[in-house]
Amino acid sequence: MTPPSTTPPAQESSKGFWRNLIIWALLALLLRWVVVEPRWIPSGSMLPTLQLQDRILVEKIRPRLTRRLHRHLQRGDVVVFAPPQQLVAAGYDPNAALIKRVVGLPGDQLMVENGVLRRNGEQIKEPWISEAMDYAMAPIQVPEDQLWVMGDNRNASLDSHLWGPLPERNVIGTAIWRYWPLQQFGPLRIPAPADGS
């Protein structure tokens, strides 16, 4: 016959509650650190795709996996990234996170002419932008291990056309889901480029 437990049931229940709470908190932190994390949109540089104060989820596995496999993200991906050295040198907080769209991969030749972006000599159809660019950009070739990123609100975006290519290692993750405002709740529906690339 086993002797009765000397620990009161309420005390055992309380210990179990706190142990479970700590485990779930650690799992949530691990999930946020490794897999997905919430972000909010602080500026209008991605209008009309993302509005000011939208809340989004950013998945963090694919950028790591593509780097490890010596592959690249896709053109059209919306990425969250740490500021490149050029912006940090200009006074940006190195712990900040920016959000833009990938428009060029290593080896791509890009230019802005007559208000449109051209890649490898072809005009790109970009259903996510609402107005022509009011600037020109001399032809550039995206270096190895770099991306060319631009905001969808091209005329009000501090992006690669001003500070240059983004090192792929700076990418934190890709935007996949909008969870606020509630009427926009759901996956980010980012149209594929009409040129299929």
Question: Which pLDDT tens digit goes with each residue over 162-175?
Answer: 999 999 999 999 99
Q: Is the peptide bond before 106 cis (omega within 30 degrees of 0)?
A: no
The residue from 45, 60, 157, 160 that is catalytic is 45
Please state the rounded mean pLDDT for residues 96-107: 96
Torsion over CA: 20, 26, 29, 35 (sign)? negative
Please state the rounded mean pLDDT for residues 49-55: 92
Question: Which pLDDT tens digit goes with each residue over 1-44?
Answer: 555 555 555 566 677 777 776 766 665 555 555 568 888 888 89
In the structure encoding, which two tokens stand for residue 140, read together?
């550039």
The residue from 5, 60, 100, 157 that is catalytic is 100
pLDDT of residue 195: 45
**In the predicted model, is pLDDT for residue 196 greater than 50?**
no
Q: Please state, for a pLDDT cut of 90, what percent of the chain lies above it.
A: 61
Q: Is 197 a catalytic residue?
A: no
Q: Is 5 a catalytic residue?
A: no
Please state the rounded mean pLDDT for residues 128-144: 95
| pTM of this structure | 0.79
> Where are the strands (E) in the chain, listed by range?
36-40, 55-59, 78-81, 98-104, 109-113, 116-119, 122-123, 137-141, 146-150, 166-167, 171-180, 186-187
Please state the rounded mean pLDDT for residues 95-102: 94
pLDDT of residue 70: 77
Please state the rounded mean pLDDT for residues 133-142: 97
**In the predicted model, is pLDDT for residue 193 greater than 50?**
no
Please state the rounded mean pLDDT for residues 37-63: 91
**In the predicted model, is pLDDT for residue 153 greater than 50?**
yes
SS (H, E, C) 59-111: ECHHHHHHHHCCCCCCCCCEEEECCCHHHHHCCCCCCCCEEEEEEECCCCEEE
pLDDT of residue 174: 95
The CATH number of 36-187 is which of 3.40.50.2300, 2.10.109.10, 3.40.50.12280, 3.40.50.10490?
2.10.109.10
Q: Is the peptide bond before 193 cis (omega within 30 degrees of 0)?
A: no
